[in-house]
A = this chain, B = another copy of it.
Amino acid sequence: MGDMERGRARYGEGAADRLLAALSGLGSDLGRYGVAFNFGEIYSRPGLDLKQRQIASIASLVDIGGVEPQLTGHINAGLTVGLIPEEIVEVIIHCVQYAGFPRAINALTVAKKVFEQRGVA
């Protein structure tokens, strides 16, 4: 379970909390899979550094759309691993080519809310 701890650190606390909240009661296995698979496996892998992984995660969530809680979590996680607000915004702007304007604009709104809550940017 050392992997899970390492993965959790890399995953970012914002997003991790949501998964962990799913760990109690019915369906707790989904939280457990998220922790073990996402933290313990994916985020613990070498090959990409922490910032690169959060770039890929934020891009994914902008493109999928309708997953604001996870986008909030991963923007927080991005800041935690050292992405600066300008880089996170740049990922969102970059994705307008693929996700279209509505999803990109909505993601920017989420990002600004996170920055404000953390008092950055």
Contact = CB atoms under 8 A, between A and B. Distances in A.
Interface of A: 18-19, 22, 25-27, 29-31, 33-34, 37-38, 41-42, 45, 47-48, 52-53, 55-67, 69-70, 85-87, 89-106, 108-109, 111-112, 115, 121
A97 B27 CA distance: 15
A94 to B, nearest CB: 5
A81 to B, nearest CB: 14
Nearest to A58: B56
Contacts of A69: 102, 106
A1 B89 CA distance: 25
Contacts of A109: 22
Contact of A27 (B19, B34, B112): B112
